[in-house]
A and B are shown apart, each in its own frame.
Chain A
Amino acid sequence: MATETHGSEPVSACVDAGGSAVGMPQLCGDWIGNQVFWLVITLIVIYFVLARIALPRIAAVLAERQGTITNDIAAAEDLKRKAQDAEAAYDKALADARAEAQTIAQKARDDIKADLGDAIAKADAEIAAKAVESEKAIAEIRESAMAHVETVAKDTAGAIVAALGGVADDAKIASAVDAQLKG
């Protein structure tokens, strides 16, 4: 430290002429009054700043935040319950719709089956009727064919007999042809 100022009297009991501490400054009695005075003022000021302004303000903010959080949680729970209700309603509606669709489909299937059965029965009847008709037609055709065959056979037999120089006796020819045709 500044050695040039050295030589004068010590500044005080606690500081030497060079500006250095003599012993522990903490034990210097000269300064205690000053330190205590300013410390007490400091503590009083800090106390009033805290007690009057800072602490009530922070307490209010913390309480408000706690309230907000509680409200938000309650609101969230409410919304969650609503969402669950909505989901349940949706599920129910879906299940109902599915069941309804199933009954409609079943009904449609049954209707179609019934219609189909009717149509098949009707078609069968028609087919049967047609078959009977056809058989009858075939029988008629066969009968007429046989009749024609007889006529043709009789005419042919008459013609053959005439051609051979015989006298065609229609009755005899007819009976002979009949006998031949019966086998």
Chain B
Amino acid sequence: MATETHGADHAAESGALVFHPMDQFIVKPLFGDASTVGMFTITNVTLWLFLSIVAVVLLMVLGTSKRAIVPSRSQSVAELAYGFVYKMVEDVAGKDGLKYFPYIMTLFLFIVFANFLGLLPMSFTTTSHFAVTVVLAMAVFLTVTILGFVKNGAGFLSLFWVASAPLALRPVLALIELISYFVRPVSHSIRLAGNVMAGHAVIKVFAGFAAIGLISPFSILAITAMYGLEILVAFIQAYVFTILTCVYLKDALHPHH
């Protein structure tokens, strides 16, 4: 890991197994061989983020361009995604949460497409980076906190004051609630990036073992199985992120337990 030992690593690798499970997460410039990545450099991150936009546009705009009463396949899928998130927001956050449906839909579609695009071979998974998921989680956290205070004023603090608990317990519970509230963005972001990163890294480790002829069939089987699991994880993590966003939004709109 440390820079000073990498020379020795390479010497060892030349004859034996080569594991670079984390290399797939390296951010590199697309054009030129500039080694430094500036803020506006066009990198593989830019490319795959752009592709997620393309995917969203393909499905949600081009897929629905016919506005058919009897939907085509792509329109059907777009309507399914719309209905899925719309129902989720309505069920979890309530009718007054529907105002924020486009924001939640944006988060859901971005995460779901970033996750699935990341499953393509040789691709770059933007959602495997904490930098990305932390921005998403902090956006949710800040929006929800500000919204809570704007909508409820100081009444938003009743979220931490569990009125149904015995009076003696309430300060303790308030402390716990406060801590759990501030842990939300951390768990929210690490859950997504951690799941995606771990799955991709495990696939790479199995791929490394495929270099040994005897093990390679099992290795390929394991990769296949992991890939199946990762498809599941790609959707479930997008779903979890979205539904937690709805839950947090519900807390902001209706802070009273």
Asked if B159 is at the interface (CB within 8 A of a chain A CB), the reply is no
Asked if A51 is at the interface (CB within 8 A of a chain B CB), the reply is yes
Q: State the CA gap A19–B106 with chains docked (Å).
A: 34
Chain B's nearest CB lies how many Å from the CB of A178?
Answer: 126
Q: State the CA gap A15–B109 with chains docked (Å).
A: 31
Q: A3-B14, A19-B23, A21-B22 are in contact. Are A46 and B69 (CB under 8 A)?
A: no
Interface 9-residue window, one of A60-68, A93-101, A102-110, A139-147: A60-68
List the B side residues contacting A167 at CB < 8 Å.
none
Q: State the CA gap A30–B83 with chains docked (Å).
A: 40
Asked if B226 is at the interface (CB within 8 A of a chain A CB), the reply is no
**In the complex, residue of chain B having the shortest beta-carbon distance to the beta carbon of A2:** B10
The tally of CB-CB contacts under 8 A between chains A and B is 170
- Chain B contact residue count (CB 8 A cutoff): 63
Whether B20 lies near A1 (C-beta < 8 A) is yes
**Contacting B131 at CB < 8 Å: which of A3, A36, A68?**
A36
Interface majority SS on A: helix, strand, loop or mixed? helix
Q: State the CA gap A43–B26 with chains docked (Å).
A: 22
Whether A50 lies near B105 (C-beta < 8 A) is yes
Whether A45 lies near B22 (C-beta < 8 A) is no
Q: State the CA gap A120–B49 with chains docked (Å).
A: 112
**In the complex, residue of chain A having the shortest beta-carbon distance to the beta carbon of B113:** A46
List the B side residues contacting A41 at CB < 8 Å.
49
Chain B's nearest CB lies how many Å from the CB of A113?
Answer: 69
- Chain A contact residue count (CB 8 A cutoff): 54
Asked if B219 is at the interface (CB within 8 A of a chain A CB), the reply is no
Chain B's nearest CB lies how many Å from the CB of A48?
Answer: 9
Whether A58 lies near B78 (C-beta < 8 A) is yes
Whether B102 lies near A22 (C-beta < 8 A) is no
Interface residues of B in 1-45 (CB under 8 A from A): 1-3, 6-7, 10, 13-14, 18, 20, 22-23, 25-28, 35-41, 43, 45
Complex A-B: 7 CB contacts under 8 Å: A1-B10, A26-B197, A55-B102, A58-B79, A61-B71, A61-B79, A65-B69
Q: Which residues of B contact A (CB under 8 A)?
A: 1-3, 6-7, 10, 13-14, 18, 20, 22-23, 25-28, 35-41, 43, 45-46, 49-50, 52-53, 56-57, 60-61, 64, 67-69, 71, 75, 78-79, 82-83, 101-103, 105-107, 109-110, 126, 128-132, 135-136, 139, 193, 197
A10-B6, A35-B132 are known; give 19 further A-B pairs, CB within 8 A: A1-B10, A14-B26, A15-B28, A23-B1, A27-B130, A28-B27, A30-B37, A31-B43, A33-B39, A34-B38, A39-B45, A39-B49, A41-B49, A43-B136, A50-B60, A54-B56, A57-B61, A57-B67, A61-B69
